[in-house]
Amino acid sequence: MNPLFGILIVVMIVFIAIALVLSFSTPLVESSQETITFKDAESAMKNLNSLILEMSKEGTGATRTTRLNFQGAMNVIPEEDAVQYEFSTTFPFIDSFSRILEGNLMIISGNDVSCSSQTNLVMENNYLRGEFQNIPKATPHSSINTQNNIKLLKEKSFNNTEIIPVNSSIIIDQDLTTSSGTGYSEILKEGTSLPSCIVHFFVNTTNADYDAYYTLYAGADFLVMEVRNVR
């Protein structure tokens, strides 16, 4: 095992979301070899996750050496605290543009998402386009009001209907002061043909600090929003 991989395992102790990305074409021949390849990669991902969880209980500096048996390559995405394995197949293991979550293992079918930093932060797939306020990292942090987090939502599959939200405030424990303060926003990983896109906001307020994440998955016509690390 590459020593660098052992270092990366330590880095990703806090959180790991593992994605297997499948791109489907018309299935012509059911391939047992594809099934074996897929299952080997899935098993390797679960083994890696178990090692990370085990080391997270041992503190900083804990290391493990292991052999992962699978075909292809796993990509470490430090921006998302994730390891990703991409697999193209002619045999439909799961429905196109669907997602399966098993603990920290997420299987995503499809890769029609794009992520880019423009005037706004933009995430887009075949069904939905979302734009978010772009507040660059600065020292000290710039002012931020979560009321303006979502600048635009556009439904693309029917009439290209655009919605400009009036208020997208994040409020912690009904405390209105937690909706604004200082911070920044960022796209964790830019690119095209991705399984998902994540926009991250860090917000520092008088009574709480927190991280907000907006995620668009392949084939989804909705956003997933999470608030984590409330301090």
Show which of 109, 138, 168 is a domain's final residue: 109
Average pLDDT, the chain: 84
pLDDT at 66: 81
**What would the pLDDT profile of 79-134 be if each residue is shown by its tens digit?**
788 888 888 877 666 777 888 888 888 888 889 999 999 999 999 999 999 999 99
Residue ranges making up the domain that contains 34? 3-109
Same domain, 62 and 120: no
- Could you say which DSSP state residue 141 is in? P
Show which of 109, 140, 160 is a domain's final residue: 109
pLDDT at 173: 93
Same domain, 123 and 224: yes
Same domain, 22 and 104: yes
**Alpha-carbon gap, residue 85 to 89, rounded angstroms:** 13
- Quick one: angle between helices 3-11 and 32-56, nearest 10? 60
Same domain, 135 and 200: yes
Phi-psi region of 8 (alpha: psi -120 to 50; beta: other; left: phi over 0): alpha
**Alpha-carbon gap, residue 129 to 24, rounded angstroms:** 23
Structural domain count, the chain = 2
Res 162 pLDDT > 50: yes
Cis bond before residue 140 (omega within 30° of 0): yes
Show which of 109, 134, 151 is a domain's final residue: 109
- Helices and strands in the chain: count of H runs, count of E runs: 2, 16
Per the model's pLDDT, the better-predicted residue between 12 and 22 turns out to be 22
Same domain, 198 and 100: no
**pTM, entire model:** 0.80
172-175: Cβ within 8 A, 24+ apart = 172/207, 172/208, 172/210, 172/227, 172/230, 173/208, 175/207, 175/208
Per the model's pLDDT, the better-predicted residue between 88 and 9 turns out to be 88
Same domain, 163 and 126: yes
Same domain, 142 and 48: no
Same domain, 85 and 117: no
* Amino acid found at 154: K
